[in-house]
Structure 1
């Protein structure tokens, strides 16, 4: 195979697991009762479709073009999510302070769950795309400084020789950051990794401590 053919057909990480994770979150947001949302629901589905299409194309074709489109779409998704979540949290805090809490307990609980789950998935996708240049660069064993130090890299004797982090590894990182509010087994090495983990922890902390705790207190 020529160099040009190798450049156009990259044996990349399959995208089926992150695709299923996105679909699961969309299903959860659809069935949650009366959760607060600033943007119409159909906008969320369009944004998800804009991410799912290039992810599917990367798996089916392996072309670097679709990998670049996927990376751009996820970066835009993360930026839109940060703005939307800030507005949703502000709306929910307004509900707590300005409206009788007893009438909105279920809404607050479902809203906090929706924000928390979406928080974990969005930052997991972002970590997955940022770490060492993204999944395509890692699959091609590109030389770049790591953003996170995984245990398998720190102790290579306990891992396969060609080990590299996949989406599930970054999903575990995103889940731990949202629950423990600190690094667990994966250490951030770069400033951007630390700032992203700080932002994810702040969103999770605000959601769980202020909103969810208040909703639980007013349940009959």
Structure 2
């Protein structure tokens, strides 16, 4: 509803604030539910459950958890960095959380601003390499978020995916 309101309403400033709040809440909810689902999977692996999960179910669950983790953090990064999309496009003087190579002093691409795909790349790199690649965190908030994302991805791969491969191999 708020997302449609942004495009239809004449007083866009208020709708943009509502949109940002909704997207931040959605990203947070997605990530909390991902952690809960991951914890449930790990509990099921360790303790067991009413029915035994097969290797294919575990592998599929780990892939879905990893993809949702990446997409959720990309959305969160996109909404938080430098005041969100609106803050970046209006030139608001809000300190950025990440330094993209295109904005580095001496390498700056005039008029360039990161979009969702750039934050998706950042989230994918963090979840795959468990570290920064070419985008550097500039704030403690960015570092903590990247640590959290990499931790969720690591647990997903080490515990759930490796157990799935073990079950499939036997």
Q: Normalising to structure 2: TM-score of the pair? A: 0.88
Q: Report the equivalent of 1:183.
A: 132
CA distance in 1, matches of 2:80, 2:53: 42
Contact 1:148 1:193 (C-alpha < 8 Å) held by counterparts: yes
What are the residue-to-residue correspondences of 1:19-30 with 2, within 5 Å?
none
CA distance in 2, matches of 1:169, 1:103: 36
CA distance in 1, matches of 2:105, 2:8: 34
Q: Report the equivalent of 1:37.
A: none
What is the deviation of 1:60? 5.5
What is the deviation of 1:70? 1.6
Contact 1:177 1:183 (C-alpha < 8 Å) held by counterparts: yes
1:142 to 92, 96, 118: 92
What is the deviation of 1:107? 1.4
What is the deviation of 1:82? 3.3
1:154-194 deviation digits (Å, cap 9, x = unpaired): 155462x1111111111110110110111100000001111
CA distance in 1, matches of 2:138, 2:88: 17
Q: Report the equivalent of 2:43.
A: 94
Contact 1:102 1:219 (C-alpha < 8 Å) held by counterparts: no
Q: How many pairs does the alignment contain? A: 167
Q: Structure 1 unaligned runs (5+)?
A: 1-52
What are the residue-to-residue correspondences of 1:179-218 with 2, within 5 Å?
179-218=128-167
Contact 2:34 2:68 (C-alpha < 8 Å) held by counterparts: no
Query: Secondary structure in 1 aligned to 2:29?
Result: helix
Q: Report the equivalent of 1:118.
A: 68
Q: Structure 2 unaligned runs (5+)?
A: none
Q: Normalising to structure 1: TM-score of the pair? A: 0.69
Q: Report the equivalent of 1:130.
A: 80
Please report the RMSD computed on the Cα atoms of aligned residues, expressed in angstroms.
2.2
Q: Report the equivalent of 2:6.
A: 58
